Amino acid sequence: MRRLPVLLIVSVAVTLTALANSNGVTRRSVLTSAGCGPSGCHGASANTRTVLSVQGLAEGANLETIAGQVIDIVINVKNPTAAAAGINIAVKTEQNGTTSAGTLMPFASSGLRLQGGELAHGTPKAFVGGEVVFAVRWTAPSEPGTYYLHAVSNAVNRNGAPDIGDQWNWMQPVKIVVGTPSSVADAATIEYSSLDLRPLPAHGDVSMQIPSELTGETFTLSIIDGQGAVVYQREVQPGSAAIQQWDGRTFTGTHAAPGSYVVVLANDRRVLRGRAIIVR
């Protein structure tokens, strides 16, 4: 069984509508629910332009962790034309089941709220460059077993009406295999190492030294603030360049606020982590 990184980055690529209720609703994430449509909201059926995926996880693969472990999940919603997105996230004991598994919690800056064991947006979050992210934290149950991550997301044009300009879809349920500490440790394949970041502190650009033997690999670079929110993310393909840069800016292009940030380079084989401190 493969050990889950402490930070699990989940990507949801979506062309979808925000829920007609701008405050968000729950119990819409399983495939047997009404989704965002037939109950009088948006389109009557899911839209195939909406694509949801778990970042760093091959299609059809499982997430894996151990009983009682806390993992951070970042859901990335993509839409090339929508103005904002809402979301409903749940983990169930069965695929398309009704019983919640483990404990979902929102980060303070995520814009999500907890209701009945599920998470939904408080207000739709605006897209920046066709993307928006929602950060959540899940505590695995104490009982080993297989559980199911569900999500439905809705990208809206913000014209104030539930119309064809809003498109939604579900994520195909993702298995979360929860094992015992010994079973995960025996089969761990993820390699963890420190990431060399300079200068420390930094006023602007932050440089990261990638070990030369890894320069041919592709990574996802994520910058996470002190509240657990992903403020910047991009794909990194070092090629022959062992040094990569973060310019100290967020998704919106504004300067990141002064403070401490976790910098993560991750793929399905390795996780490199370091800490950057921004001063202005």
First to last CA, the chain: 44
Q: Please indicate, yes or no, whether the overall pTM of this predicted structure exceeds 0.75.
A: no
pLDDT tens across 24-66, in order?
566 777 887 766 665 545 556 677 777 777 766 677 878 888 8
* Whole-angstrom distance, CA of residue 131 vs CA of residue 142: 34
Better-predicted residue by pLDDT, 253 or 163: 253
pLDDT tens across 223-252, in order?
888 766 778 888 888 766 678 899 999 988
pLDDT tens across 117-139, in order?
999 877 888 888 777 777 788 88
Task: Please report the domains of the chain, with CATH numbers, ordered by start residue.
Answer: 7-185 (2.60.40.4060), 191-278 (2.60.40.3080)
- Please tell me the predicted confidence (pLDDT) of residue 148: 96
| Token duo for residue 150 | 């569900």
Q: Amino acid identity of 226?
A: G
Q: Which residues contact 162 (CB under 8 A, 6 or more apart)?
A: 17, 20, 41, 42
Better-predicted residue by pLDDT, 6 or 173: 173
Identify which of 73, 108, 103, 106 has the alpha carbon closest to the alpha carbon of residue 91. 103
Q: Which residues contact 157 (CB under 8 A, 6 or more apart)?
A: 81, 82, 83, 163, 165, 166
Residue with tokens 């420390």: 200
The alpha carbon torsion through 98, 100, 106, 112 (nearest 10 deg) reads 10
Alpha-carbon Rg for the chain in angstroms: 19
| Token duo for residue 51 | 């694509």
Identify which of 94, 112, 92 has the alpha carbon closest to the alpha carbon of residue 102. 92
Taking residues 68-80, report their average pLDDT: 79
* Whole-angstrom distance, CA of residue 29 vs CA of residue 152: 5
- Please tell me the predicted confidence (pLDDT) of residue 43: 58
Q: How confident is the model at residue 97 (pLDDT cuts 50, 70, 90)?
A: very high
